[in-house]
Chain A
Amino acid sequence: MARDLAEYLRPQVKITPFCPGCGHGILMGLVLRAIKDLDLDMDQVLFVSGIGCAAWIPSPHFAADTLHTLHGRAVAFATGAKLFNPELTTIVISGDGDLASIGGNHLIHAARRDIDLTVICANNMIYGMTGGQLASTSPLGAKTSTSPRGNPWRPFDLCRLVAAAGASYVARFAVTQPLSVMEAIKRGIETEGFAFIEVLSPCPTQFGRRNQMRSPAEMIERLMELCISLEEAEGMGPEELEGRIVTGEFVHG
């Protein structure tokens, strides 16, 4: 990671735990750049995460208070910490399986309450750490270790879900759009109320190799192909939109 971010990392941590080609390392850097840009005091920032690869983005790497919780419960833990000490800038970073499947109930209720949290969901569309099982965000037809013939179920649109639940800020970008991700994180932190940022992050190890994208570069290219902006999506019909990923700010102040 760039030397100018060293002060935001624990000196004991030398390397990231992520696989080659994983998008989570990019996201890790973007979160810290957003914090640096906002000039936040890391002693007043709390990072909360659940279980899974993305939960390791803050814990143990970030030089701040970090709370690595139970699978699915990061948002509930964060709710208690934030409500008791509103001075803490509380940022949840976790994966799609953790936040939206096992933890889906806490996610929508925190959005409904409009608790002042920033939730960053690293969405790799699969259970990475446990061996590439089907997620509630896996695209239709995706091959995973538990859908060898292709995923028969529709995926969640997490941004629509959280927006419908009442969040104050909702955005989706891919790690292939780094400046937009960083800006969205900054706007999320500055939002008074519940902010949700879905960040698409490629998993070559579990997703790519099962779905004809053998190299990390192929996954990045595919992600760039699939992602379109809200403006581009406006003029497109349902057939054209099929399989595309709409990125942008869906709810903002």
Chain B
Amino acid sequence: MPWETVESPFPAGSYYLSGNEAAAEGAIAAGCRYYAGYPITPSSEIMERIASRFEEVGGVFVQMEDEIGSICSALGAAWAGAKAMTATSGPGFSLMMEAIGYAAFTETPIVIVDVQRAGPATGQATRPASGDIMQAKWGSHGDYQVIAQSPWSVQEMYDLTVRAFNLAERFRVPSILLAEEAVGHLREKISIPERLQVYCRDKRPGAPPFGTEAPDGVPPMPSFGEGEKLLVTGSTHDPWGFRRTDDPEVHERLVERINRKVLDHRSEIVEVEAYHAEGELELLVISYGFTARSALFAVEALRSEGKRVGLLRLKTLWPFPEGEVAEMASRARGVFVPEMNLGQVAGEVRKYVSCEVWSYNQTNGEVIDPRTLIEEMRRIL
């Protein structure tokens, strides 16, 4: 069976770690044994932790010449059998876009941690933002899917990195952890479990590696050196990997499957958490990442004043939790989406709800102060 229970390679217990350190430990626990990266603030501590820890666990680490080389070498290692990863921030994430599309089209599992900083361009390298949400989904050309999660704590930098690997391997898809600088550099207590569940690659020798009977299936994934004589290509290909660049049916079927294999399995992928969200609400706050910490504080403050407000926290951003958002919003008079960008998730929420949606957008490189949110929510109410 692809799911296995493994011992944590790091002794179980409570630790005081930074978010970036926790992401590195989560990767190692999930079985990551190839990491390629390039220095960039504010994600570099992930690579530094990996560089020192990989010697103990027998992983292969290489610091590449740029972010393009980093992700491409990780994709090569993935086909050689590795659970592979890279981490970066805005400018490096931009450079990785072409290879993310390649990974989606060749169905190569890869985990990318993007510790978001204030952009565009070089922007503010040491300051937090949530400006890469749309880029994570739409940054490469063509129609494809990725999985993206949004951690709000150091614990989730660990837990969701483990989950990112499991989802990448289960669905053979690029799996992105959309962290923010504030959580990457946050230090707080985390608990490392004794055992964890990891997904090991599904192998079926002789089966086609790029096609399934079902229009939304995930094919098994062999590795180089197993005698399968693999044909991997980023051009349109049939189930065996032969290029079919003039065949409209083969192209349409492949594009449909790489999208549906993610979208049809939303229930396995999407995770949200609701806080104080029972019954009818005057206002539903929809939040994610570091901002959700401030949002929860603000919701609890207003509830202590008797306001019927609740919070829906999106742990998964892509595929978008449209059903969960629609259901919760149907019980609310209005929805409020605070973000460290100019409304990237608010725009998505508007597609799935019929009530009014208010935004609060902050792009000054500061985390959103809970007092600001209390004020904004009072104004709306």
Instruction: Give the interface of A toward B (CB within 8 A).
Output: 10, 12, 42-44, 46, 48, 59-60, 63-70, 73, 76-85, 87-88, 105-106, 109
Contacts and interface: CB of A to CB of B under 8 A. Distances in A.
B198 to A, nearest CB: 18
A80 B225 CA distance: 14
The 9 A-B residue pairs whose C-beta atoms are closest, nearest first, are A80-B76, A80-B73, A77-B76, A80-B77, A76-B72, A68-B233, A81-B76, A84-B77, A81-B80
Nearest to A71: B98
B80 A80 contact: yes
Contact of A88 (B69, B74, B80): B80
A76 B98 contact: no
A109 B34 contact: no
Given A42-B229, A78-B76, 9 more contacts: A12-B242, A64-B229, A65-B224, A65-B228, A69-B76, A77-B76, A106-B69, A109-B64, A109-B69
A215 B241 CA distance: 35
A187 B66 CA distance: 30
Contacts of A12: 242
Contacts of A87: 225
Nearest to B234: A70
Contacts of A79: 62, 64, 69, 73, 76
A51 to B, nearest CB: 8
Contacts of A106: 65, 69, 72
A77 B241 contact: no
Contacts of B72: 69-70, 73, 76-77, 80, 106
A225 to B, nearest CB: 37
B98 A70 contact: yes
Nearest to A44: B225
A207 B199 CA distance: 51
Contacts of A42: 229
B235 A83 contact: no
A50 B102 CA distance: 12
Contacts of A59: 231, 233, 243
B232 interface: yes
A10 B242 CA distance: 11
Given A76-B69, A80-B74, A80-B84, A68 B225 contact: no
Contacts of B234: 68-70
Given A10-B229, A70-B102, A81-B224, A48 B76 contact: yes
B81 interface: yes
Contacts of A85: 80-81, 223-225
B33 to A, nearest CB: 7
B75 A84 contact: no
Contacts of B82: 80, 84
B79 interface: yes
Interface string B126-149: 000000000000000000000000
B125 interface: no
Interface string B215-240: 00000000111111111111100000
Given A66-B230, A88-B224, A81 B65 contact: no
Nearest to A56: B243
B40 interface: no
Interface in B1-47: 33-34, 36
A25 B180 CA distance: 51
Given A67-B76, A70-B102, A83-B62, A76 B230 contact: no
B33 A84 contact: yes
A219 B188 CA distance: 69
Contact of A80 (B36, B65, B66): B36
A43 B228 CA distance: 8
20 contacts: A43-B225, A44-B225, A46-B225, A69-B76, A69-B234, A70-B72, A73-B69, A76-B64, A80-B36, A80-B62, A80-B76, A83-B62, A84-B34, A84-B77, A84-B80, A84-B81, A85-B225, A105-B65, A106-B65, A109-B65
